[in-house]
Every structure is written in C-alpha cells, then in structure tokens.
C-alpha cells in the first residue's frame, strides 16, 4: 500500500478504534489506554503511515521566527546575493508561518557582529541562520544557542566543530584545489603565483585558510619539482596607499609572478591595480559574479571566476531550518553547492538581470 493512500480512517479500522483515538495518539493529546496506544502505534508502523506535515503546517497558525545574521551589503556588495536568497526563501515559506528577521552587521567591524549576535540570543528566536565570518567571536555564541536548544545553520564559512544543524555553501578546500587547477591549466612554463586575501583577517577566517590549503595542496600533488613558487599576501582595500604599496613590493620582489589567485570576491580590485601599472600578462582566478568581476571577465582580464552561488546559500539555508522546525525532516549536516567555473564563453548564462546588477554594482 502506498503511503499517500493511508488515511487516519484506514488506521482506525485496522486497529479497531475510532478516528479520534488515532488522532490523539498521533498528536499526543488526550488520554489513551496504554494497550490501545500500543495497538495504534503498531498499526501505524505496519501500514507505513507518514503524516502529511505540509498540510498540517498549512493548517496551523504557528509562526516560526528565524533570525538571519547577515553582513550588511552596503559595506560589501557580495552580500546582496545571500540576502536576496534569504528573502526569496522567506517569501516561499511564508504560507507555513515562517518569518525571517534580518540582523545586519558591518563585516569589517567585529563589535557590530557581536552586538547583533547578542540581540539574536535574547530574541527568543526559533532558529538562526548566519555566516560566522569572525571565528573566535562566534564560538561562545554557539555554546549559548546549544544551551537554549536553538538550531543554527551556517553558510559561506564551514566550522566543523560548531555542532551546527547544517552548513550550506561551497567546500572551501575543494574550491582551493579547483583554483589551483585553473591557474595551472594553460601555463606554458612554471611561474610564481600570488595568493591574495582581501579584506579578511586570515587567522580568524576559517574558509580562506581552507581555500589556501587546498590551493597549496594542488601544487604539492602536481608539482613534485617545486617549480611553482607561491607567495601569500593580505590586503585591505580601505587603506589604498598600503594596498598599492604591498602589491608594488610583491611584484618588485618577484618579477616572475604570472598568476594571481584572489580568495574573495574582490578580484576586480587586483585588475584595477594591474591596469594602473599597465601589466597585462597576469592570469587571474577569483570568485563570485559581482558586476565588476563579470565586466573584467568579459574583457579577458580575469581568466576564470568560481561561482559560489551565494544566493543559493541564503535560499537553501533558510529551507534547511524550515525542514527541521516545520516538516520534522532529517537535515543533511553538509549541503555543498556546486562550484561553477565561469568563463568569458559561458558568462552570459550567469548574467544578472539589469535591475539586480545595478544594485550589486561596486564602485571601483
């Protein structure tokens, strides 16, 4: 018998009880004699009954409050996409009582992050969705949320020891391996490679460390002679003079730099510097489909972009919480999204609508 055909009336007839008794057993309300309850439960098992949780959620007046701790995209355009994903998921799940409260913080100000995390902790929320970009400062909040039995889903940055309900996003280590292969591919001879971390405190950014590790491991596995030299640099775009001088020094100290791997969404900033220096021989691999990145991809100044699907991270992250809270589904601990390699040849298939690309544009 297929699950969809099993009704409460069928269960009641087979168990020899009323439909009201079956209802009381299913919803654990009202008194049912122990032997009758055992008989109903056994019948449920034999008939492989599964409750229609979607219908139940639709008929419920319960509200599920989810807190989304998100970097404010007014400070960094990358975060518009996950914010869009969160809002799309809320719209899709609104009929089931889902409400998402966004708590925006300045991604360059750890105190802003802590303040918003504290507000969430005191809000009585049913679930939390966040990008834990500040590793050290987030760990104590995980303990508090566990004590309060609040499920939380991570995106963008995976922290295995966080004991989260789920992580949605890229496999950072694999993306580093992929970037290594893209840099290596088409290089006619060994060269020096610059790895650029932009606008992140590396020691406190687990995902960037994993990207770098994956990148290094690719060349360990495919460059047994050590012909490729890898140099790592950390840059802060808010300090333009220092940003420029660090790049000046890196290229002066190593004229053999022929490729740059940018571990964040800021590849366009490296291109802008290269343009100022009239350097056109450097191959760039970066992340994310921000409009300036797409523009430089189409001119050939960026060779490859790895799409991390940030909108999908926001969308599926909220759905993971809804599946757990509303539909009582078992949620996968890891939900890795595909690592799409975007080139000039296939960029049009990833192009954002005009209205969205305008909002996501970045001043160079």
**Is 281 within a domain?**
yes
- Domains held by the chain: number: 3
Percent of the chain with pLDDT over 70: 91
Confidence of residue 328 (pLDDT cuts 50, 70, 90): confident
Confidence of residue 131 (pLDDT cuts 50, 70, 90): very high
178 and 293 inside one domain: yes
pLDDT in the model for residue 210: 95
What predicted TM-score, i.e. pTM, was given to this entire model? 0.80
**Residues contacting 140, CB < 8 A, separation 6+:** none
**Is 362 within a domain?**
no
Span 194-198, mean pLDDT? Answer: 97
**Is 185 within a domain?**
yes
Confidence of residue 353 (pLDDT cuts 50, 70, 90): very low
87 and 41 inside one domain: no
Span 213-237, mean pLDDT? Answer: 93
Nearest to 161 by CA among 176, 146, 183, 150: 146
274 and 293 inside one domain: yes
More confident residue, 194 or 23: 194
228 and 130 inside one domain: no
187 and 287 inside one domain: yes
Please, what is the average pLDDT of the chain? 90
**Is 357 within a domain?**
no
pLDDT in the model for residue 65: 97
**Is 157 within a domain?**
yes
User: Residue 44 and residue 157: Cα distance in Å, rounded?
Assistant: 41
pLDDT in the model for residue 226: 82
More confident residue, 361 or 259: 259
Could you give the C-alpha distances from 197 to 171, 234, 287, in angstroms and in order?
A: 17, 5, 12
> pLDDT tens digits, residue range 35-44?
888 898 888 7
259 and 299 inside one domain: yes
Q: Contacts for 89-94 with beta carbons within 8 Å, 24 or more apart? A: 89/314, 89/315, 89/316, 89/317, 89/318, 89/319, 89/322, 90/66, 90/318, 92/319, 93/318, 93/319, 93/322, 93/326
165 and 314 inside one domain: yes
Please give the biggest Cα pair distance in the chain. Answer: 86
Q: Residues 162, 142: contact at Cβ < 8 Å? A: yes
**Residues contacting 197, CB < 8 A, separation 6+:** 205, 208, 212, 232, 233, 234, 235, 263, 264
pLDDT in the model for residue 3: 44
Confidence of residue 5 (pLDDT cuts 50, 70, 90): low
Task: State the CATH number of the domain containing residue 30.
Answer: 1.10.260.40
84 and 195 inside one domain: no
Evaluate if residue 152 carries a pLDDT over 50. Answer: yes
Task: State the CATH number of the domain containing residue 318.
Answer: 3.40.50.2300
Confidence of residue 261 (pLDDT cuts 50, 70, 90): very high
Backbone angles phi, psi at 88, to 5 degrees: -65, -40
**Is 339 within a domain?**
no
205 and 117 inside one domain: no
78 and 143 inside one domain: yes
More confident residue, 19 or 192: 192
176 and 295 inside one domain: yes
User: Residue 311 and residue 38: Cα distance in Å, rounded?
Assistant: 47
Which range, 9-18, 203-212, 286-295, has the best average confidence (pLDDT)?
286-295
User: Residue 324 and residue 153: Cα distance in Å, rounded?
Assistant: 11
pLDDT in the model for residue 355: 39
Nearest to 156 by CA among 237, 248, 264, 278: 264
> pLDDT tens digits, residue range 297-325?
999 999 999 999 999 999 999 999 999 99
pLDDT in the model for residue 55: 53
303 and 183 inside one domain: yes
**Is 294 within a domain?**
yes
**Is 358 within a domain?**
no
- Identify the domain containing residue 83 by its residue range: 64-170+310-332
Span 259-285, mean pLDDT? Answer: 97
Percent of the chain with pLDDT over 90: 72
Confidence of residue 364 (pLDDT cuts 50, 70, 90): very low
């Amino acid at each position: 018998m297929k699950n969809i055909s099993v009704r409460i009336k069928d269960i009641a007839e087979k168990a020899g009880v009323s439909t009201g008794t079956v209802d009381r057993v299913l919803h654990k309300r009202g008194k049912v004699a122990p032997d009758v309850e055992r008989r109903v439960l056994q019948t449920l098992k034999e008939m492989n009954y599964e409750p229609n949780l979607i219908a139940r959620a639709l008929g419920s007046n319960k509200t599920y409050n989810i807190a989304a701790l998100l970097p404010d995209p007014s400070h960094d355009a990358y975060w518009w996409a996950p914010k869009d994903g969160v809002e799309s998921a809320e719209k899709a799940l609104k009929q089931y009582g889902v409400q998402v409260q966004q708590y925006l913080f300045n991604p360059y100000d750890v105190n802003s992050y802590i303040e918003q995390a504290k507000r969430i902790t005191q809000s009585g929320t049913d679930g939390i969705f966040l990008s834990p970009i500040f590793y050290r400062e987030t760990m104590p909040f995980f303990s508090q949320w566990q004590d309060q039995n609040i499920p939380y889903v991570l995106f963008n940055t995976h922290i295995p020891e966080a004991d989260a309900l789920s992580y949605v996003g890229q496999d950072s280590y694999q993306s580093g391996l992929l970037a290594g292969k893209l840099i290596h591919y088409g290089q006619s001879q060994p060269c020096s490679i610059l790895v650029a971390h932009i606008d992140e405190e590396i020691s406190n950014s687990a995902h960037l460390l994993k990207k770098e590790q994956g990148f290094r491991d690719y060349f360990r596995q495919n460059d047994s002679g050590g012909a490729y030299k890898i140099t790592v640099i950390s840059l802060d775009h808010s300090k333009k003079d220092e940003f420029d001088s660090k790049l000046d020094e890196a290229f002066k100290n190593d004229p053999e730099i022929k490729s740059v791997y940018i571990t964040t969404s800021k590849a366009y900033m490296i291109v802008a510097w290269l343009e100022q220096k009239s350097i056109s021989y450097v191959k760039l691999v970066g992340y994310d489909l921000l409009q300036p990145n797409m523009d430089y991809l189409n001119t050939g100044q960026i060779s490859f972009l790895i799409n991390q699907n940030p909108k999908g991270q926001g969308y599926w992250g909220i759905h993971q919480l809804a599946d757990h809270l509303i539909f009582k589904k078992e949620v996968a601990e890891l939900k890795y999204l595909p690592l799409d390699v975007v080139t000039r040849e296939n960029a049009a298939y990833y192009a954002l609508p005009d209205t969205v690309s305008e909002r996501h544009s970045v001043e160079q």
